[in-house]
Amino acid sequence: MAKRLVVLALIVALVAVFAPLGAPSRAQQLDSELYVYNWGDYIDEALLIEYEQQFGVRVTYDNYATNEELFAKLQAGAEYDVVFPSDYMVARMIALELVAKIDRANVPNWENLDPLNLDAWYDPDGFCLPYMWGTTGIAYHESIETPPDSWAAIFEPEQVENYTMLGGINVFDDQRELLGAALIYLGYSPNSSVRAELEQARDLLLRVVPQYRYINSADYQETLLPAKEVILSQSWNGATAKAALLTATEDNPEGEWRHVTPKEGALRFQESVCVTAKSPRKGTAEHFINFLLEPENTARISNTIGFLSANKAAREFTDPVLLKFLPSDEEIAKMEWIRPLDDAARRLWDEIWAEVRIGG
């Protein structure tokens, strides 16, 4: 009898070792459904279908446009299981106990993540896991003879006039990004709550806002840049990469768009994948996250959306064009995160931003 038990134990151990990665064990019963809430155009939706077919879990997938929309939905009681907030919103959601801590034992693919992206300031205890990340800089068309190297390209009247004549400029319709870039150009923190500094940034913008051809941070990488509606744009590096992919041809495999990190510095961002605190399907949510973190699956997402993932093991499957948009260590050293503002600072930023938008 004892020998029989030993043999059975060995069989069980071998099955566990050679089971397909990501497949649930008999002990891990997956739920029949899963509710996922993500940014628009921020996944390869074919993967959702494959997950449903492979594991028998029906995925209800919805989109949001801003972190604030996500936050409001969760606070109102929406019962999503998996969400993808940005850095500063992760910190806010952890503080308000809106997310549960992921059990990394259930997500073995977390080991594929780049240490550069782990243990970020907004999630020191590892509640969530990094998903996509990037930086803000300037996208410029390859036809520009002398590439820009400074935020002066979109803030100094003489340069703005020059690029306007060449084809036009787009900037972000986003107060933290556009005012933040202006603050960096002026030598201040992009998280400043000093009225005099923010007023300087406002005045800098008011000189040039009327000359901007577009103020678009929603879909410029798929509409304005590929159609060459502008020659220059404030841009996330992943969005510039998307525009490069969309304009790639056999004769020009790297596409028509390039990206630069301004010499004054730039903003850095990172989206995470989290399990909500109210999720009654935490085990299934973690299983789904592990599926997304399979290197080939993560690479498919990057190749679809243009943004670079935090999954280091995915790079061998990632389009080489995208990898050219990875910032250097020197550039990363000059980047800052967007940090949460207190209530008084948020009101000040809203006031300054309203004046900028009215001026435009």
Q: What residues does each domain of the chain span?
A: 30-133+269-323, 134-268+328-359
**What CATH number does the domain located at 134-268+328-359 have?**
3.40.190.10
| Residue 15: closest CA among 5, 6, 28, 25 | 25
Neighbours of 351 (CB within 10 A): 13
| Intra-chain end-to-end CA distance of the chain, in Å | 83
Identical topology for domains 30-133+269-323 and 134-268+328-359: yes
State whether residue 150 is helix, strand or coil. coil
Q: What is the pTM of this model?
A: 0.84
Quick one: pLDDT at residue 360? 62
How far, in Å, are 145, 286, 345 from residue 268 at the CA level? 27, 26, 20
Cα(350)–Cα(344) distance, rounded to whole angstroms? 10
Quick one: pLDDT at residue 4? 47
Q: Are 341 and 191 in contact (CB under 8 A)?
A: yes
Quick one: pLDDT at residue 28? 63
Q: Are 360 and 209 in contact (CB under 8 A)?
A: yes
Cα(268)–Cα(117) distance, rounded to whole angstroms? 11
Cα(299)–Cα(307) distance, rounded to whole angstroms? 10
State whether residue 48 is helix, strand or coil. helix
Cα(117)–Cα(123) distance, rounded to whole angstroms? 11
Quick one: pLDDT at residue 218? 86
Neighbours of 350 (CB within 10 A): 12
**Average pLDDT per 10 consecutive residues for the chain, totaling 360 residues:** 45 42 57 96 96 98 92 95 96 96 98 94 97 97 96 98 97 94 98 98 97 94 97 96 96 97 97 97 98 98 94 96 92 93 94 89
Cα(29)–Cα(27) distance, rounded to whole angstroms? 6
Fold for the domain defined by 30-133+269-323: D-Maltodextrin-Binding Protein; domain 2 (3.40.190)
